[in-house]
Structure 1
Amino acid sequence: MRLFLAFLIVANVASAIAVVYARHEHRQLFVSFKSLIRERDELNIDFGRLQLEQATWAESNRIDQVARNRLGMVFPEADETVVVRP
């Protein structure tokens, strides 16, 4: 009888330790999860900013301005245009 009682006490303590370990593991994973969620949100914000910046740099007015000012490009005159047909 004493052996059975000792076994139950050991099993109860082992079960309690397992519960504490599982709860601790859950808390650590939850903290990690929240950190990853925050990082994902920050990356989504950065991605939105980059998309906006890309759209700004790719506007046709901006490209035309850079082509004229920095590269010295101009539209060809009508007599400078050649149409090539197959």
Structure 2
Amino acid sequence: MSARLLLAALIAANVLSAIGVVFARHEHRQLFIALTKLEKARDELNIEFGRLQLEQATWAESNRIDQVARTRLGMKFPETGDIVVVRQ
């Protein structure tokens, strides 16, 4: 009788262990899918950040600022005679 009880306990432990392995593998797959999605999102954000840095550098370029100041605001460099030096 004890041999049957021991065999039943071993079978139950084996089934529970198999269920645990299946659950752990399933959880691993789900986490790996989530990791892959997050890495893809990170890569897309890095690409967008690079584009934004390039755009910022373009808009902040001194030639661009000079062009906007001249065309939109009608600004120009003062003539030499218009410059006044104030000394204290």
Question: Does the alignment reach a TM-score above 0.5?
Answer: yes
Aligned to 2:82: 80
- Equivalences, count: 86
Q: Secondary structure at the match of 1:83?
A: coil
Aligned to 2:50: 48
Aligned partners of 1:29, 1:85: CA distance in 2, in Å?
70
Q: Tell me how large the CA RMSD over aligned residues is.
A: 1.4
- The DSSP-based 3-state class of the residue aligned with 1:3 is helix
2:74 maps to a residue whose letter is: G
Identity %: 73
What is the TM-score of this pair, normalised by structure 2? 0.87
SS, match of residue 33 in structure 2: helix
Using the alignment, how far apart are the partners of 1:68 and 1:21 within structure 2? 68
Deviation (angstroms), 1:3: 1.6
Aligned to 1:70: 72
Give the whole-Å Cα distance in 1 for the aligned partners of 2:87 and 2:53: 39
Structure 2: unaligned runs, 5 residues or longer: none
Please show how residues 1-86 of structure 1 align to structure 2 within 5 Å: 1=2, 2-85=4-87
Quote how far apart the aligned CAs of 1:85 are.
Answer: 4.5
- Which blocks of at least 5 consecutive residues in structure 1 are unaligned? none
CA distance in 1, matches of 2:87, 2:79: 20
* Matched position secondary structure for 1:12: helix
